[in-house]
Amino acid sequence: MQVPAPFEYQRAGSVDEAIALLARSGGDARLVAGGHSLLPMMKLRLARPETLVDINGLSDLEYVKVDGDEIAIGAMTRHVGVLESAVLAEHYRIFAEAERVIADPLVRNRGTVGGSLCQADPSEDLSAVFAALKGRAVIRSASGTRSVDLRAFHLGPYETVVGDAEIVVEVRVPIRPHTGSAYEKVERRAGDWSVAAAGAFVQLRGDTIDDVGIGMTAVGAAHFTCEEAEDSLRGGPVSPEAIDEAARICGQRCNPSADQRGPVDYKRHLVSVLVARALTRSVARARGEAA
Ligand SMILES: Cc1cc2nc3c(=O)[nH]c(=O)nc-3n(C[C@H](O)[C@H](O)[C@H](O)COP(=O)(O)OP(=O)(O)OC[C@H]3O[C@@H](n4cnc5c(N)ncnc54)[C@H](O)[C@@H]3O)c2cc1C
């Protein structure tokens, strides 16, 4: 049986208290939210925090709401809260499509938005969703609040810009009119991590692509996206050829690893097919068509 190394357990009653507990431990403490990533790592002794700061009492960080011209999602919102949110269903169907294929109900009932982003697993689905939507993370510390573009949030696998005594409190995405979005994932069996996955939004002005976002996961895409592909579409007319070209660029520019889920060429091809499908369905939804 695998058991974690000994650790001290603290339960935070507020964001300020969580930050103070982290600061007091001088880098040896970790927050625990859903625990679905951290606890397995502790059992394998890949993580050995001296103190665990439990933030499950911070129910004020569990919400999805419209705030001005953005949607604000609290960091302690569980996957199931994202899946079932009427606000997200109205503006961005990409969320429910991604959440439906993240793990299983057990994980979705506990795992959180903040934990998913901060774990920085290179196969994380929500990282691709937020990269596609050009969201930003709101991070608090004792010295105040800062906001970081999600495309600058991940420094690499399992590494983010969040400091030792900081906590992600919220993630925000802009509300865009005339927009459709979609998510496409291939997994080897139900509930598994992606072989490859891609999400997109497309904002239309008539038949012109006004703005577009592409997110990819499990294929080594820098910052879970491909701005060159987005640039090839933005400002141009909607056409299958333009979508295919953008998808081709995505397949070329990503950097997948060969593993038990497949060889490199297969993953490049797969993700380009998924990008094309996500873009095509996003366009249809932006036009108000069934997709
Ligand atoms: C069997 C299984 C299958 C899974 N399949 C998928 C899948 O298909 N797709 C997918 O995307 N994910 C998958 N996951 C991961 C799942 O989404 C987890 O919920 C997620 O990775 C971590 O969220 P958590 O709340 O459990 O974080 P935790 O495990 O509690 O924390 C993870 C890390 O984030 C830090 N942290 C947590 N919250 C904050 C915060 N607010 N601010 C700063 N740091 C914070 C912690 O200190 C820790 O370092 C799977 C997990 C399991 C167990």
| 282 alpha carbon – ligand 1 mean position (Å) | 27
Q: In this structure, what CATH number is given to the domain that contains residue 273?
A: 3.30.390.50
Under-50 pLDDT residues of the chain:
none
Ligand 1 pocket member 114 (CB < 6 A): yes
Could you read off the pLDDT of 175-210 as tens digits, one per residue?
999 999 999 999 999 989 999 999 999 999 999 999
Q: How far is CA 276 from CA 17, 93, 204, 259, 280, in A?
A: 46, 17, 17, 24, 6
- pLDDT for the residue numbered 291: 85
**For position 1, what pLDDT does the model report?**
65
Residue ending a domain, choose from 128, 145, 174: 174
35 lies in a domain?
A: no
Ligand 1 neighbour 160 (Cβ under 6 A):
no
Ligand 1, residue 33: give the atom nearest the CA. Answer: 30
pLDDT (0 to 100) of residue 27: 85
pTM of the model: 0.97
CB of 127 sitting under 6 A from ligand 1: no
Q: What CATH number is attached to the domain comprising 131? A: 3.30.465.10
| Residue 36 in contact with ligand 1 by CB distance below 6 A | yes
pLDDT (0 to 100) of residue 26 = 83
Whether 269 is covered by a domain: the verdict is yes
